[in-house]
Structures are given as structure tokens and as C-alpha cells.
Amino acid sequence: MSRPPRLRADRDPGDNWAVAPDGTRYWGAFGAAGLLAHDPARGILLQHRAAWSHHGGTWGIPGGARHQGEEALAAALREAAEEAGAPASALRAEAIHLLDRVVWTYTTVVAHVAAPFEPVAGDEESLELAWVPVEEVARRELHPGFAASWPLLRDALGLRPALVVDAANVVGAVPDGWWRDRAGAAARLVGRLEALARTGVAAEDWELPLHRWFPRIVAVVEGRARGVAAAPGVEVVDAPGSGDDAIVAQARALAAAGHAVTVATSDRGLRARVDEVAATRGAGWLLDALPDADQRG
């Protein structure tokens, strides 16, 4: 097809142009978002763009206009499902890169493929979908916008941050009566970590590239706090004995699995024990990063 399909009359208001003062037009009245899906075994999921599309014939990532009121992460997952049959359940969002043109933004969601899938074109926007090895991506004729951001995105692929939380130490940093109900205090911390899992952590807080990261979060609890339930985006590990020993074991296992590990604790002895496999941040750093307890994403 050499011409774009007609826009449906009942389309979402976001399926329209954003226009800059100089007349430059960007597709997506509320911005746009795309998904950079990375399968360590097969590479990057690329879309060969239909001839009628902007920069038709080039290669880019599945993506499109954000709907009215839609978060960028949700938009990227929706577009990838619609255009490439990418199941959200097979993907784990790890980072966000934001291109800001003032009147318009493009958000690239970097996602790790946790369960292999075969892409299937779901509309007329693709000539072809393919898994392309990372080292071969730059050899394709890339969409100019994607080409400009690819070096930064490529360098970020291997970072995969993980956060191991010394729950007892973090809870103990605030004198709010936690000692009267250790399990309750740990549960409240897990609730705030759940909110952090949804919102992510600003890149500058990690001293990492891109704009926002969604680390794998593991909270280690001990003593009377054991038995606290996990939450979406937050794993909870009950220390069978020493909490410090369990934290060291978690940090080592995550580092061995390829994660860039940060341990949140103010315990100097523990920080020294994980120094070879993890960065460390104090309890205050984490508490400052956590959304308020009653925040909802």
C-alpha cells in the first residue's frame, strides 16, 4: 500500500498531529511511545515501516500515538501488541528514554524479553518484523529518530538494575514506632516499594543514562517481620537466619544473573560485604526516592 489508510472517524483524539510554532508536525497529539524489546538470544525487535508512513521503508521499533490520558509505558505496550503481537506478559520494562520537543514527546520503553515470542504484524504499518542482533541494528537503514537515539539505547541494554533492600535497616531509619509492629512496618515499606516499582527511579538517582529505570526490587526481611506478603513488582525474601547473610546471597545471585545491583542499607559492615558485587546506597537515599505511602499509580 502506497497511501496511508483513512483515519477512522471514531479514532482516539491522540491519533492526530501536534504542531510546533514553526509548523513542524509530529504524530501524536499527546505524544508518542515505542517499545525497544530486547531478547538476549535474538536481539532487538525491529519494524520495517510501510512505504506510506513517515520515513517509510526504514527500520524502527513498534510504536505510535499515545491515547488521551494514557501513560507512556501503557502506550508503548499497547502499540507493540497491536503492531507486532508482542504480549505484555512476556516483557519486563526496565528503562525509559524521553525525547522532548516541548510541544511533543517520544518515549522509548526499553524492555527485557522474559519469555520468547514470535512477532506478528497486526496492521498495515509493517512491511516486515524481525529480530535483529544488537551488533547488526546499525547496519539497517534506520528511521532517523531511532538512529539518533540508538547508540545511547544500545549502551543501556546491559545495565538491568536490581535493588536489594535491607528492610530492617530502612525501616529502622525512621523512629515512627516500628519496633512495636515490625511486620506492619515491613508491610508498609513493601507498599511504598510497590509504588516505586510503578513509577520507577530517576536516572540521575542511579547515576545511569536514559531518564527513568524500573529495577528488579527484592526486599529482604528478617525476624518478626518474616511472612510479609510480596507485591506487584516487589519480591520479598524471608531471611532464614541472619538478614545480612540473606542480603549478601541475593546480591551475589542477581549480579551473577547479569543485573547491576544496588543494595539499600546504611549498615557499614553489610556494605563492605557486598562491595565486590554491588553498589550501595544509604537508607535515606531510598526513603527520599520512595513515593508517599498513599500514592497510587
| pLDDT tens per residue, range 112-134 | 999 999 999 977 778 899 999 99
Among candidates 242, 243, 265, 245, which has minimal Cα distance to 253?
245
Q: What is the pTM of this model?
A: 0.84
More confident residue, 293 or 18: 18
| pLDDT tens per residue, range 198-217 | 999 999 888 889 999 999 99
Q: Report d(CA 150, CA 192) in Å as an integer.
A: 33
- CATH number belonging to the domain at 17-156, selected among 1.10.287.1400, 3.30.379.10, 3.30.70.1520, 3.90.79.10: 3.90.79.10
pLDDT at 296: 36
pLDDT at 6: 64
Same-fold call for 17-156 versus 161-289 = no
In three-state secondary structure terms, 273 is helix
Q: Per-residue pLDDT for 82 more than 70? A: yes
Q: Which residues contact 84 (CB under 8 A, 6 or more apart)?
A: 45, 47, 62, 119, 120, 121, 122, 126, 129
Report residue 31's pLDDT band, with 50, 70 and 90 as the boundaries.
Answer: very high
Q: Report d(CA 62, CA 108) in Å as an integer.
A: 10
Q: Report d(CA 215, CA 76) in Å as an integer.
A: 18
pLDDT at 55: 75
* Mean pLDDT rounded to a whole number for the chain: 92
pLDDT at 168: 97
Distance set, CA 129 to CA 88, 93, 125 (Å) = 17, 20, 10
Q: Report d(CA 23, CA 45) in Å as an integer.
A: 32
Beta pairing class for 17-19 and 25-27: antiparallel
CATH number of 161-289: 3.40.50
| pLDDT tens per residue, range 232-280 | 999 999 999 999 999 999 999 999 998 999 999 999 999 999 999 999 9
pLDDT at 295: 39
pLDDT at 5: 59
Beta pairing class for 201-202 and 212-213: antiparallel
User: 157 exposed, middle or buried (CB, 10 Å; 0-12, 13-18, 19+)?
Assistant: middle
More confident residue, 2 or 39: 39
| pLDDT tens per residue, range 96-116 | 999 999 999 999 999 999 999
Report which DSSP code applies to 294. Answer: T
- Residues β-bridged to residue 216: 162
Domain boundaries, given as residue ranges, for the chain? 17-156, 161-289
Report residue 293's pLDDT band, with 50, 70 and 90 as the boundaries.
Answer: low
| pLDDT tens per residue, range 137-178 | 999 999 999 999 999 999 999 888 999 999 999 999 999 999
